[in-house]
């Protein structure tokens, strides 16, 4: 078995501790371990473990599994390595919420035992892909997002206007701080904090959520995921920001942004006793109201 490990420490002791526990378990299981080069260089690893580890800077189809150590943001960065290779990803949570990274540090041994036995399921997550006219080199290689694509104002306190078309039909012009296009996976992220709905991962939908719209009748809109969305931004500044998950680029107001469903999905590993509804209850504290 060939396993890739990716992580982001951010100075957190929990990540370093989880990484060392993971390496010991993988070493005992006699699997081939490859660790992302930058992440490995940040770690202090004992000599008896480091000798069995190789570095990677890119992945290929020979890998059986990717293990992410960190929070949900770490998984979002890990998918830039996985891309369309179809390698399953499992997340160990050393961050905060953990909607994607669902394995807690105290559960690593038990979770790995189940995964090695094949006792898990795969949740396929749809992605958004983006193109711009004219082309932008900064996003040409990684023009996809698992959570959301958002456009927002840059270097100004003034709102922007986002002219929006769906399948070439005019929808509206949002006057707001920006606009979020979210996948079902991203519906529990930025979109949720801006008033968007929660969508189950297997739903064939995307969500359009305005960011602080001036028109109070501008509400989040759920659309089929086969919809093509075209955005044109206008504002007092000559440029605006576009984010693809955690990656940000600056675009001129002359640019046209087109967003579609990506031609591939990300495979998330889920243990058999995990469900999305259970995660919702735990992470959003549903049912914790003492009046219930």
Is the Cβ–Cβ distance between 22 and 4 less than 8 Å? no
Q: Give the β-pairing of 205-211 and 178-182.
A: antiparallel
Q: How far apart are CA 182 and CA 94, in angstroms?
A: 24
Q: How far apart are CA 75 and CA 92, in angstroms?
A: 9
Q: How far apart are CA 62 and CA 268, in angstroms?
A: 18
Question: 197: number of CA atoms within 13 Å, CB side?
Answer: 13
Tell me, what DSSP letter sits at residue 222?
Answer: E
Q: How far apart are CA 12 and CA 95, in angstroms?
A: 9
Residue 72, SS3 per DSSP: helix
Q: H or E stretch including 241? A: strand 239-244
Told to judge if 278 belongs to the known catalytic residues of this protein, a careful annotator would answer no
The alpha-carbon radius of gyration of the chain (Å, integer) is 20
Provide the token pair at 222.
């759920």
Q: How far apart are CA 139 and CA 162, in angstroms?
A: 20
Provide the token pair at 50.
């480091």
Cα angle at 23 between 17 and 24, to 5 degrees? 95
Sign for the CA dihedral angle at 68, 70, 72, 77 comes to negative
Catalytic residue, chosen from 13, 41, 60, 72, is 72
CA nearest neighbour of 92 among 78, 241, 47: 78
Is the Cβ–Cβ distance between 33 and 3 less than 8 Å? yes
> Residues with catalytic annotation?
72
């Amino acid at each position: 078995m060939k396993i890739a490990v990716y992580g982001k420490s951010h100075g957190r002791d929990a990540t370093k501790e989880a990484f060392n526990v993971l390496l010991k378990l993988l070493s005992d299981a006699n699997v081939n371990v490859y660790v992302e080069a930058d992440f490995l260089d940040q770690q202090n690893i004992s000599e008896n473990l480091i000798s069995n580890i190789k570095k990677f800077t890119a992945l290929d189809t020979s890998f059986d599994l990717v293990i992410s150590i960190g929070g949900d943001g770490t998984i979002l960065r890990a998918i830039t390595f996985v891309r369309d290779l179809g390698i399953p990803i499992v997340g160990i949570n050393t961050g905060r919420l953990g909607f994607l990274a669902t394995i807690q540090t105290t559960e690593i041994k038990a979770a790995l035992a189940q995964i090695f036995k094949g006792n898990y399921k795969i949740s396929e997550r749809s992605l958004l892909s983006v193109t711009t006219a004219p082309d932008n080199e900064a996003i040409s290689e990684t023009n996809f997002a698992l959570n959301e694509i958002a456009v927002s104002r840059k270097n100004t306190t003034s709102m922007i206007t986002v002219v929006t078309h769906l399948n070439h039909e005019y929808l509206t012009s949002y006057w707001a701080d920006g606009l979020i296009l979210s996948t079902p996976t991203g519906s529990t992220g930025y979109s949720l904090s801006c008033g968007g709905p929660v969508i189950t991962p297997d739903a064939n939908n995307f969500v359009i959520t305005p960011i602080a719209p001036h028109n109070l009748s501008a509400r989040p809109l759920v659309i089929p995921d086969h919809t093509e969305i075209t955005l044109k931004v206008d504002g007092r500044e000559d440029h605006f920001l576009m984010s693809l998950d955690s990656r940000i680029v600056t675009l001129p107001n002359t640019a046209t942004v087109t967003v579609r469903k990506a031609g591939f999905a990300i495979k998330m590993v889920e243990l058999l006793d995990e469900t999305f509804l259970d995660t919702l209850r735990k992470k959003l504290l549903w049912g914790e109201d003492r009046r219930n």
